Amino acid sequence: MAEGSAFAPTLFPMTNSTVLRLNGLSKRFGPVVANDDVSLTLAKGEVLALLGENGAGKTTLMNMLFGHYLPDAGSVEVADENGVLQSLPLGHPQAALAAGVGMVHQHFALAENINALDNITLGSEPLLALRRNRQAARSKIEGIIERSGLKAPLNTPVGRLSVGERQRVEILKALYRDARILVLDEPTAVLTPQEADTLFENIKAMTREGLSVIFISHKLREVLAFSDRIAVLRHGRKVGEMATADADEKAIARMMVGADTPKVARTEMAPGGPVLNLTEVSVAGRSKRDTLKGVDLTVRAHEILGIAGISGNGQSALANVISGLAAPSAGHVQVDGIEVAKPSPAAMVKAGIGRIPEDRHHEGIVGAMSVAENMVIERLDDPEVQSRGLLRRDAIRDNAERLTQAYDVRGPGVAASSRLLSGGNIQKLILARVFERAPRLILANQPTRGLDMGAAAEVGRRLLEARERGAGVVLISEDLDEILGLADRIMVIRDGNLVEAGSHDREKIGLMMAGEPA
Amino acid sequence: MIRIEPRENPSRAFAVGIPILSAVISLALAAIPLLAAGANPITAYGEMIRGVFGSVFALSEMLTRATPLIFTGLAAALAFRAKLWNIGAEGQLYLGAMAVVAIGSGYLDAPGFVLLPLIILLGAGAGAAGMMAPTYLKVRFGADEVVTTLLLNFIILIFLQMMLEGPLQDPMGLGWPQSAPVLDQGMLPPLMERMRVHSGLIIALVLAGIAQFMLARSVWGFKLRAVGENAAAARHAGINVNRSLFGVAAISGALAGLAGVSEVAGLKGYLTSDLSPGFGYTGIVVAMLAGLSPVGVVVAALFIASVFVGADSMSRAMGVSSFLADLVVSMSLLCVLVGGFLAKYRILRTKEVAS
């Protein structure tokens, strides 16, 4: 291809032709349907916003386009240089690149110690070339920069560039490889508002030259401001598609969070006294997801408090404080009115908090140890489990036999490694471990993520049961339906702040999650 | 594409058969250099077996060689179970050995029932201290213990040379860099008349038994396994991960220190800077061969000691270069390690995803 022709108008005259078509893509992971019959088209020079909550299937869909996953059904067509749609071989990461589809991930893949120019050309040169034609590469890149406005210092090591500049380098990398279609995964997640505006101006400039763009986002404001068309994914299905000109914020918010009826029946119940009090609790984290900014929170007995929010807004920090993994940098934590002086996981367990961790494989179980051992791992001091430092193996086995019965944990037996269990059964193992100790407070962090309907309903039933018994529950979830169905009271977490939602109004909560004034 | 995944529930016959098969393959492979050197492999292997099992003396030599390997093998196995990569057993061995001659070569002239336990405790303590320091650096600053423990080995060895030409030097030693001999009542008693095998072996075997029991049956062992297999889950469950690491660091270092005690107070009687021909490093191989099981360490140490002693004796009897013995040792170790890996993991050829 001629130099500097990434999206030169001469080569790709503006027409309204389709450049990308996804036909009925479906992907299942075990029992989880990540994408169900999703079809999309993208026209030349168009900006398509792909909206949806976390777990809605946006990333899976793009991973199929890029050949990282092989779809169970469906096909992908990409226009060739002459604008004729060609079927794309699936499951081959190189095929999408070769067909002119470039992706810029949320997390950049740049080598920090070499300069932007080399980062851009890296990997697109023949492995065994004797010398590199750096001058040709440089002039091609400079041509792209001039037409797109994507300014980036080419001679500076990437490690010294700002986040916005790094992102421009990533985009330049895709354009350098003659991308005609660009996919941006949450491009503004790491940018300041000013940088974001500049980015979208650049995108506009590029689309005028014939580039087509898909950008993944859950920020309504920028979607409405900068896209031509909006497609909304929810629970793996495309639930709506409209021209941005016809869209209004409320309709999109409703589409994103859905309008299903709650699945688990919840009866009203008068709450009791407070079991958990957070007062002005801050956590100084290294990233947004690990940061809390002076939050107040009270959970009472007989109450499920739902924490709604888009992932990465401080949920991890909140969960870590309640489970004892993170010490607050300021503020007070009280369980049953008693200040937790030195927070640690052991102290929180002792104070009567049952924890259902977000990542059940990573934090919930020790996969190489047996089901029976995992059942008692939180109470190794208990005389029922040990006497004088030696494990009471019969008691541990009997305990596990009883709990696997009571909680319907299915697998190859209590002596088998817990990693042999399915995700749903691992969660049941954790439920058994937590609920068996009749905790005063339960922290359930994304308790149904990745579970099938049956297992998810079981989790909901157990949480309601604990509430009836008198426990307080903190339910952190990115699935608003789950929170609406289970929670007595809802708070929204955004950017490390917690605010009372005040109602079960789906639209209002959806807007609060997205950071829009309600 | 090749994918490696753990075998779930490998059969008993499989678990036992693979190591034996790999030992046989290693012998077949080792025949090649033997033939090249002009030796008859059958005779050579006969000499090897005779060199280990042919006489009480041969057996005693093999057990003497296995003793420090059991200690260092246990040191590696326990630490590795907690994913604490103690590569410093060699240095900790010398710390233990230095403690022995510092106290036992006349500094304290006490009766044996006082001196011997003291020597053992101090030797273990010195080894433990040698592992606690890198563990502190790991826990506090995130310093990679593979690097720190490995490099400490060289520091300790140079420190040893300094001590052997300074405070620990034998005043009667005509200037040789060696320590004064350990007092007679401070020596570990031999197990047989006129044989070198000594009661350090008994200590090693008892400790292996205790380690096996504690690992499987105690709360301490439970925590250790949990920390090693999934530290995040252990921490989430309320297990004090750092305390577990310090605990196993102390025990691992102490076991390596005991290897030094056993070599000085059980075998040599004095300390030189060539006390260990790499027992600390060989202990890592022993531990890996044993699948990090304490009882397995005993078996693996006996196997490796047999190969060492047998190959040595073979090269002497056959008149082939002693390098050939090292070659035989290395090949059999590689074969058994690969075999052990294949017994635990399966290698799958995955098809490229269809287009």
A24 and A104 in a single domain? The answer is: yes
pLDDT of A368-383, one tens digit each?
999 999 999 999 999 9
A30 and A105 in a single domain? The answer is: yes
Q: Between chains, do A367 and B229 touch, taking CB under 8 Å as contact?
A: yes
Q: Report the distance separating Cα A322 and Cα A476, nearest Å.
A: 11
| Amino acid code (one letter) for A498 | L
A30 in helix, strand or coil?
coil
Question: Lowest mean pLDDT: which of A342-356, B132-146, B311-325?
Answer: B311-325
Choose the final residue of a domain: A416, A438, A460: A438
Tell me whether residue A228 is in a domain.
yes
Tell me whether residue A459 is in a domain.
yes
A56 in helix, strand or coil?
coil
Tell me whether residue A146 is in a domain.
no
| A417 at B interface, C-beta within 8 A | yes
Name which residue leads in pLDDT, B262 or A16.
B262
Q: How far is B259 from chain A (nearest CA, A)?
A: 27
Q: Report the distance separating Cα A345 and Cα A18, nearest Å.
A: 55
pLDDT of A217-248, one tens digit each?
867 778 888 899 999 888 888 988 889 888 88
pLDDT of A444-498, one tens digit each?
998 987 676 567 778 888 999 999 999 999 999 877 878 888 999 999 998 899 9
pLDDT band at A2 (very low <50, low <70, confident <90, very high): very low
**What DSSP assignment string belongs to A290-322?**
G-EEEEEEEEETTEEEEEE--TTSSHHHHHHHH
pLDDT of residue B322: 77
Tell me whether residue A91 is in a domain.
yes
pLDDT of residue A415: 92
**Count of beta carbons in the 10 Å neighbourhood of residue A490:** 24
Tokens 């027409």 appear where? Answer: A15
pLDDT of residue B319: 83
Chain-centre distance for alpha carbon A32: 16
Q: Between chains, do A345 and B230 touch, taking CB under 8 Å as contact?
A: no
Q: CA of A35: how far to CAs of A74, A477, B286, in Å? A: 11, 20, 50
A486 and A399 in a single domain? The answer is: no
Question: CB–CB of B188/B68 below 8 Å?
Answer: no
Judged against a pLDDT cut of 80, whether residue A79 lies above it is answered with yes
| A332 at B interface, C-beta within 8 A | no
Q: Between chains, do A420 and B234 touch, taking CB under 8 Å as contact?
A: no
Range with top average pLDDT, A125-139, A284-298, B79-93: B79-93
Q: A174: Cβ–Cβ under 8 A, 6 or more apart, which residues? A: A102, A103, A104, A182
Tokens 């791992």 appear where? Answer: A377
Write the CATH number for A295: 3.40.50.300
Q: How far is A184 from chain B (nearest CA, A)?
A: 25
Question: CB–CB of A463/A265 below 8 Å?
Answer: no
A396 and A461 in a single domain? The answer is: no
Question: CB–CB of A501/A490 below 8 Å?
Answer: yes
Nearest-CB residue to A366 (from B218, B229, B355): B229
Judged against a pLDDT cut of 80, whether residue A126 lies above it is answered with no
Question: Largest Cα–Cα distance in chain B?
Answer: 81
Tell me whether residue A279 is in a domain.
yes
Q: CA of B26: how far to CAs of A175, B33, B289, B301, in Å? A: 55, 12, 14, 17
Exposure of B158 by Cβ count < 10 A (0-12 exposed, 13-18 middle, 19+ buried)?
exposed
Residue numbers of the domain that contains A94: 18-109+179-257
Mutate to test the interface with A, among B215, B218, B352, B355 (most CBs of A within 10 A): B355
Q: List chain A residues with CB under 8 Å of B226.
A: 366, 369, 373, 377
Q: Report the distance separating Cα A225 and Cα B305, nearest Å.
A: 75
Exposure of B71 by Cβ count < 10 A (0-12 exposed, 13-18 middle, 19+ buried)?
buried
Q: Chain B residues contacting A, CB < 8 Å?
A: 8-9, 217-220, 222-223, 225-226, 229-230, 232-240, 352-355
Q: Report the distance separating Cα B98 and Cα B119, nearest Å.
A: 10
Helix axes B89-104, B241-261, angle to 10 degrees: 60
Q: List chain A residues with CB under 8 Å of B344.
A: none
pLDDT of residue B207: 98
pLDDT of B60-71, one tens digit each?
999 999 999 999
> Nearest residue on chain B to A348, judged by CA atoms?
B238
Question: What average pLDDT does the segment B330-355 reach?
Answer: 71
Q: List chain B residues with CB under 8 Å of A365.
A: 230, 233
A241 and A295 in a single domain? The answer is: no
A300 and A335 in a single domain? The answer is: yes
Question: Largest Cα–Cα distance in chain A?
Answer: 82
Bridging pattern class, strands A330-335 and A338-339: antiparallel
A205 and A278 in a single domain? The answer is: no
Phi, psi of A219 (to 5 degrees): -100, 110
Q: Report the distance separating Cα B105 and Cα B182, nearest Å.
A: 4
| Amino acid code (one letter) for B261 | V
Q: List chain B residues with CB under 8 Å of A362.
A: 230, 232-233
Question: CB–CB of A146/A193 below 8 Å?
Answer: no
Q: Report the distance separating Cα A60 and Cα A71, nearest Å.
A: 9
ipTM of the complex: 0.85
pLDDT of B321-342, one tens digit each?
878 777 877 887 788 778 877 8
Tell me whether residue A245 is in a domain.
yes
Q: How far is A336 from chain B (nearest CA, A)?
A: 20
Bridging pattern class, strands A303-308 and A330-335: unpaired
Range with top average pLDDT, A138-147, A205-214, A309-318, B214-223: B214-223
Q: Report the distance separating Cα B334 and Cα B325, nearest Å.
A: 14
Question: CB–CB of A485/A266 below 8 Å?
Answer: yes
Nearest-CB residue to A420 (from B8, B217, B229): B8
Question: What average pLDDT does the segment A44-52 reach?
Answer: 89
A496 and A376 in a single domain? The answer is: no
Mutate to test the interface with B, among A356, A377, A421, A434 (most CBs of B within 10 A): A377
Q: List chain A residues with CB under 8 Å of B222.
A: 373, 377, 380, 391
Q: List chain B residues with CB under 8 Å of A86.
A: none
pLDDT of residue A393: 93
Judged against a pLDDT cut of 50, whether residue A1 lies above it is answered with no
B72: left (phi over 0), alpha (psi -120 to 50) or beta: alpha
A377 and A487 in a single domain? The answer is: no
Judged against a pLDDT cut of 80, whether residue B20 lies above it is answered with no
The share of chain A scoring above pLDDT 70, in percent, equals 90
pLDDT of B193-247, one tens digit each?
889 999 999 999 999 999 999 999 999 999 999 999 999 999 999 999 999 999 9
Q: Between chains, do A380 and B222 touch, taking CB under 8 Å as contact?
A: yes
Mutate to test the interface with B, among A380, A394, A421 (most CBs of B within 10 A): A380
Tell me whether residue A248 is in a domain.
yes
Tokens representing A178 are 């003659």
Beta bridge partners of A232: A51, A240
Choose the final residue of a domain: A400, A416, A438: A438
Q: List chain B residues with CB under 8 Å of A91.
A: 352-355
A187 and A238 in a single domain? The answer is: yes
Q: How far is A63 from chain B (nearest CA, A)?
A: 14
Summary mean pLDDT of chain B: 90
Range with top average pLDDT, A55-69, A96-110, A480-494, B57-71: B57-71
**Closest by Cα among A402, A404, A469 to A438:** A469
Summary mean pLDDT of chain A: 84
The share of chain B scoring above pLDDT 70, in percent, equals 94
pLDDT of residue A193: 65
A388 in helix, strand or coil?
coil
Q: Between chains, do A373 and B222 touch, taking CB under 8 Å as contact?
A: yes
pLDDT band at B8 (very low <50, low <70, confident <90, very high): low
| A366 at B interface, C-beta within 8 A | yes
pLDDT of residue B259: 98
Tell me whether residue A134 is in a domain.
no
Question: CB–CB of A154/A115 below 8 Å?
Answer: yes
Judged against a pLDDT cut of 50, whether residue B354 lies above it is answered with no
Tokens 């380690």 appear where? Answer: B211
**What DSSP assignment string belongs to B209-230?**
HHHHHHHHHBHHHHHHHHHHH-
pLDDT of residue A3: 42
Q: How far is A107 from chain B (nearest CA, A)?
A: 24
The count of domains in chain A is 3
pLDDT of residue A62: 87
Q: CA of B177: how far to CAs of A39, A504, B259, B268, B272, in Å? A: 81, 83, 21, 15, 7
Phi, psi of A243 (to 5 degrees): -75, 140
A414 and A457 in a single domain? The answer is: no
H/E run at residue B3: strand B2-6
Tokens representing B98 are 């230095």
- Where are the extended beta strands (E) located within A382-470? 386-387, 390-391, 441-445
Choose the final residue of a domain: A415, A438, A461: A438
Which strands form A18-29's sheet, in the order they lie side by side?
A32-43, A18-29, A73-79, A85-87
Tokens representing A425 are 């059964």
Tokens representing B350 are 């995955």
Nearest-CB residue to B237 (from A90, A377, A386): A377
Which strands form A441-445's sheet, in the order they lie side by side?
A353-356, A441-445, A472-477, A303-308, A489-494, A497-500
A286 and A204 in a single domain? The answer is: no
> How many Cα atoms are found within 13 Å in the side-chain-facing hemisphere of B173?
18
Q: Between chains, do A377 and B240 touch, taking CB under 8 Å as contact?
A: no
| A395 at B interface, C-beta within 8 A | no
| A349 at B interface, C-beta within 8 A | yes
Helix axes A423-435, A453-469, angle to 10 degrees: 10
Q: CA of A262: how far to CAs of A483, A500, A504, in Å? A: 9, 21, 11
Question: CB–CB of B96/B113 below 8 Å?
Answer: no
Mutate to test the interface with A, among B81, B230, B242, B243 (most CBs of A within 10 A): B230
pLDDT band at A6 (very low <50, low <70, confident <90, very high): very low
Q: List chain A residues with CB under 8 Å of B239.
A: 346, 377, 380
Beta bridge partners of A417: A370
A370-406 burial code (b ≥16 CB/10 A, e <16): bbbbbbbbbbbeeeebbeeeebbeebbbebbeebbee
Question: CB–CB of A518/A506 below 8 Å?
Answer: no
Exposure of A317 by Cβ count < 10 A (0-12 exposed, 13-18 middle, 19+ buried)?
buried
